[in-house]
Every structure is written in structure tokens, then in C-alpha cells.
Amino acid sequence: MKLRNKYFILRHGQTIYQTALKRDVVYPCFSKKPPVELTLKGKNQIKKAAQKLEKEKIDLIFASDFWRTKQSAKIVNEKTKTKIIFDKRLRDLSFGTYHGRSKKDFYKEFPKFSMKRFSHAPAKGENWLDCRQRMVGFLKEIDKKFKGKNILIVSHGDPLWLLEGAIKNLSLEELLKIKKETGIPKTGELRALN
């Protein structure tokens, strides 16, 4: 995919759902409970990424509108003084009816490294191709709108993995191999896309 801007991706910092306390639960998505927020470690991960981004002269930050990505984008903004635009298309993969339930239950129906996950979705959720389509649609739209800019995208593990794969024109098999061998971007991980 040929792009007119330089892109960086950043996964939000660690939340309680990346700790031993809640690691086995699919995070609640749109519940009325308090939002999923960054741990102290998560805030520090983003502060380190922000220091690196300060040197990159970021022109714009686009971020998912979930609380953990808003927190992450605002930490970067404190360092870079860059405008933030929140966009629903950058949200995490929707696990539908599995939000708040055991990951073990989810993986029984949707195995972790299965090609099935590209085409099959949980009830009221989305599959990996659905997620990739919305991420690529977002990128194409902003790439037409801007030229020669340094743009940061703050999002979530699966959406960023799928977006990076689309930019590199990876096949579904190659994408799955990356997920198995090296995994999705880690919390607080910053990558240059092009």
C-alpha cells in the first residue's frame, strides 16, 4: 500500500486486563462499570513512547475513543502538544456477547490461531476481516486528506496487527504466522509503519 504520510502506531498502555488479575477475562466493552484504564505500568509505557515520539515531530494523533486509548493519546499529547482526533473506527475488535466472559469460553468456539477467525464472528461481534476493513478504510481516508505529515495512530493490539499486515500486503496465512510467532503489538509498543 503506497502512502502519502509517515505513520506510527502505538498500542495503549497496560490495563488491568493485561495483568494476572484479569488476563483470563475478555474485557468488558460497553458496560456501565468504570472504564478500563491504564495501570501505573501502562502510564509509564506510554511516557517512554511519548519521549521517542517527541523526536519524530508528530503532526496529528488519531486514537480510538475507548478510555485506555484516550488516556494514552493524552499522555503523548502532554509531551508533543499535538492535536488529538478520536475515531470509533480505531476501536478494539468487538468480541460481541463474549465481553466480560472467560477467554477460555471464547477460545473454545474461536481458537486463538485459527483461520476461522478471519471469517467467523461471535454474536454481535466482528471477525478479523471486519476489523481489518474498518482500519484500512480509516487509513485510506486520512491518507487522502493529508500529505507529508507524521501521523500517530493509537489503538489496540488486534486492529494494529491487522492494519500493519494490510499496509505490508500480507496474506491471511502470513498474518496468522506473525500472530503465532511474534504476536500482536505489546502494550505501550510503538512502531513506524513506513
pLDDT along the chain (194 residues), means of 10: 95 94 81 80 98 96 97 97 97 94 94 96 97 98 98 98 96 97 96 91
What local confidence, expressed as pLDDT, does residue 20 receive? 86
CA angle 114, 120, 126 (to 5 degrees): 110
25 is a domain residue:
yes
What local confidence, expressed as pLDDT, does residue 16 receive? 92
Q: What CATH number is attached to the domain comprising 65?
A: 3.40.50.1240
Say how far apart CA 108 and CA 142 lie, in whole Å: 37
1 is a domain residue:
no
What local confidence, expressed as pLDDT, does residue 28 receive? 78
Residue whose C-alpha is closest to residue 94's, from 74, 116, 117: 117
What local confidence, expressed as pLDDT, does residue 156 receive? 97
Instruction: Please count the structural domains in the chain.
Output: 1
Give the number of other Cβ atoms within 10 Å of residue 23's Cβ.
10
Q: State pTM to two decimals.
A: 0.96
Query: CB within 8 A of 67, min separation 6: which ones?
Result: 35, 36, 37
In the numeric block, the cell 510503538 is attached to 190
